[in-house]
Each structure stands twice: as C-alpha cells, then as structure tokens.
Amino acid sequence: MANRIKLGILGSTNGTDLQAIFDTTSIGELDAKVNVVLSNRKNAYILERAKNHNVPAIFISHKGKTKTEFDSEMTTILKSHNVELVLLIGFMRILSADFCNTWRDRLLNVHPSLLPKYAGGMDTNVHEKVLKNGETETGCTIHFVTDEVDGGPILVQKKCSVEPDETVETLKTKVQKLEGRAFIEAIKLISRRDAKNAKKL
C-alpha cells in the first residue's frame, strides 16, 4: 500500500462525492488515501464526513484575505499533509492562477454537465438550463483545473439520459451518482500515470 495516492479535498457543501471515495477505498477498490479535507465554510457537512473517517478536517476563513493569500494558505496546508492530488468537490470559489499553476496536472474538478456544455454554471443552475433547453442527455465531467473556469483538459465523462418528467432535483441526484464513479475512475487514471512516470525515473 506504499504507493497509495494521497488526496487533498477542497469542498464547500455536503461532500457526497467524498463519501463515494471513502466507501471505495474502505473496501480496497481504490488505492488512495484522503489525507486532509479543507473548507471555506465552517458548517459544511463535508468536514463532518472527514471527521467521521478520522481525516483532518480544516476550516479556513477567507474573510479579510485576498484570493492569493487564501489560496497560498490552502497550498501550505495541503503540502504539510503530503497531498499529491487535489480534488474540488463542490468548492464554491474560483481559484487563483497561482494556485492552479502550483497544482498543475494535480488538480481535478467535477462539473455537473458534459463540458463544454454549460461551462461556468454551478449546481442546480446547470440542471435548470439542461431541462429548459430540452436536452435528452446530460452527465458529469472530471477535468483538470486551469485558470480558465471549466476550461481545463477533460479526463473523464459519464452520461445519463434526461427523462421527459425529470425535475431539477431528480436530475441532480442522478448526476451526483455519476460524479462519485467518475472521480474514482479519474483517481485511478492519475495513479496509473504516476506509476508509469515513476518507472521511467
């Protein structure tokens, strides 16, 4: 287990996708370890999920700090926990270019649509647009994060159908189930990439 990839999580909401990662690592289907969870919201349930799995859960206030100062503080904490791959799970802040460059190729986000469609939207806002536009298919995208919002290279996409009687809530639930699976697939892809690179050294 020495080669388990070490994950750092940034989240502002419930962390449903984090639970999928915990569940998969606990049964040995994912060779990864969550080393720390950070949130900019003190009462975000994602911090409780971390505590329930004995993972350091840290609240960082952004009040009175510039974006660069806040992001630099996050980087310091992530590095102190030996994080190798950072996942954005419902993280409701736009990251600075410096942060994106520091974690280049080691920073993944999940977006609740099939990018490039509905780039820039968040959460239920995206599902509302999918329904309004009469889409018959949607899904989620795991992509590398760059300083262009939702514009980084795509790593994994999962699709689902949009039924005629679909609501925003049913669609959100359906897409969230895909998100956990997509993250797990993405982590495995990164682990394989790192293992290949290590062999070349």
Specify the pLDDT at position 37.
98
Catalytic site residue from 53, 111, 127, 143: 111
Q: Out of 28-32, 47-51, 73-77, pick the least confident.
A: 28-32
Specify the pLDDT at position 170.
96
Specify the pLDDT at position 160.
97
State how many domains the chain has.
1
Closest CA to 154 of 170, 139, 174: 139
Percent pLDDT > 70 in the chain is 98
Specify the pLDDT at position 200.
65
Average pLDDT, the chain: 93
* Separation of alpha carbons 144 and 115, rounded Å: 12
Specify the pLDDT at position 1.
43
Tokens 């009040």, located at residue: 63
- Section 160-189 average pLDDT: 95
Whether 81 is a known active-site residue: answer no
- Section 83-97 average pLDDT: 94
- Section 86-102 average pLDDT: 93
pLDDT, one tens digit per residue, over 38-69 is: 999 999 999 999 999 999 999 999 899 999 99
Percent pLDDT > 90 in the chain is 83
Strand runs labelled E in 81-195: 85-89, 107-111, 137-144, 154-161
pTM: 0.92
For the cut 90, the answer to whether the pLDDT of residue 135 exceeds it is: yes
Specify the pLDDT at position 150.
82
- Section 171-193 average pLDDT: 94
**Residue 149 sits in which domain range?**
5-200
Task: Report the half-sphere exposure of 38 (CA within 13 A, side-chain side).
Answer: 26
Task: Please state the φ and ψ torsions of residue 105, each to the nearest 5 degrees.
Answer: 65, 10
pLDDT, one tens digit per residue, over 138-162 is: 999 999 999 888 889 999 999 999 9
CATH code for the domain of 81 = 3.40.50.170
